[in-house]
Amino acid sequence: MSKFYNAKRKRNLYDPDSDVPYELSRSKIDLFLNCPCCFYLDRRLGVGQPPGFPFSLNSAVDKLLKKEFDTHRAKATAHPLMKAYKLDLVPYKHKKIDEWRDALGGGIKYLDPEMNFIIKGAIDDVWVNQKGELNIVDYKATSKDGEVNLDSDWQIGYKRQMEIYQWLFRKNDFKVSDTGYFVYANGDADKEAFDGKLEFNVKIIPYEGDDGWVLGAIKKIHACLESSEIPKSSQDCDFCSYRKAARELEEKAV
């Protein structure tokens, strides 16, 4: 990890004196909501949280699902999962679909003229109903006993992710339904043998999003970055708790 982790970054920092629009990703908005202190250290001072390890299996599921839905996108037909859940939808065909799904390219973007932020996020998929309304779709993969759902407290991040995407598409003048969908693949670990393959039960979970909080959060982020003071740590931030505990022990050892 240390080979790739830069503990003191100088790029992509917010400069209060700059007139250049500052790019703010969906994940960084979530970071701010989880811990303003960690967000400020990252975006203003260049000290980001150490990265986690990549979830290669999740990425493989994501890639395969996109291939499946792209096949139906090309033919403007409903995926069998849509039919199974009686959803009158088809994958949305648009010339920018690959751009919207490209995290490295920035995904879908919106320039907020008041904050001078370019808000961006990379979606997994978009479906469309008979009214021409877009349904934002996010793929998730896991392996757990029982049915997958969105009931855990930590899954608030999934919901906020969906709502930011809905907000971004609305800001790009698309008609967007409040209903988004999570395509949730759950690996079946109850098979008698592995046999070189892992089978998944795939479920579609509808979610009624409300993006009314997004603009307010962006304004708070702008005020945070404009300030010269580091915000207080979030009480439930593991990174801040670790730094505090380590700092206290180091001070005692001196």
Residue 250 belongs to some domain of the structure: no
DSSP 192: S
Quick check: 1 pLDDT over 70?
no
pLDDT, position 2: 47
Residue 2 belongs to some domain of the structure: no
**Average pLDDT estimate for 103-120:** 94
- In terms of Cβ atoms closer than 10 Å to its own Cβ (0-12, 13-18, 19+), residue 200 is middle
Residue 8 belongs to some domain of the structure: no
Residue 239 belongs to some domain of the structure: no
pLDDT bracket for residue 6 (50, 70, 90): confident
pLDDT, tens digit, for every residue of 130-166? 999 999 999 999 888 888 999 988 899 999 999 999 9
The rounded distance, in Å, linking the Cα atoms of 7 and 13 is 14
- State the total domains in the chain: 1
Which backbone phi and psi does 159 adopt, to 5 degrees? -70, -45
pLDDT, tens digit, for every residue of 23-47? 999 999 999 999 999 999 999 999 9
Q: What is the CATH number of the domain that holds 70?
A: 3.90.320
What integer best gives the mean pLDDT of the chain? Answer: 93
pLDDT bracket for residue 216 (50, 70, 90): very high
Which string of DSSP letters, residue by residue, matches 29-69? HHHHHH-HHHHHHHHTTS-PPPPPPP-HHHHHHHHHHHHHH
pLDDT, tens digit, for every residue of 173-189? 999 999 999 999 988 87
pTM, entire model: 0.92
Which bin fits 195, alpha (ψ -120 to 50), beta or left (φ > 0)?
A: left
Structure token digits, residue 19: 């007139």
Which domain range does residue 134 map to?
Answer: 22-227
Residue 151 belongs to some domain of the structure: yes
Residue 244 belongs to some domain of the structure: no
Q: Are strands 200-208 and 179-187 parallel, antiparallel or unpaired?
A: antiparallel
**Average pLDDT estimate for 108-123:** 97
Give the lowest-confidence range in 146-150, 169-173, 187-191, 218-222.
187-191
Residue 5 belongs to some domain of the structure: no
Residue 241 belongs to some domain of the structure: no
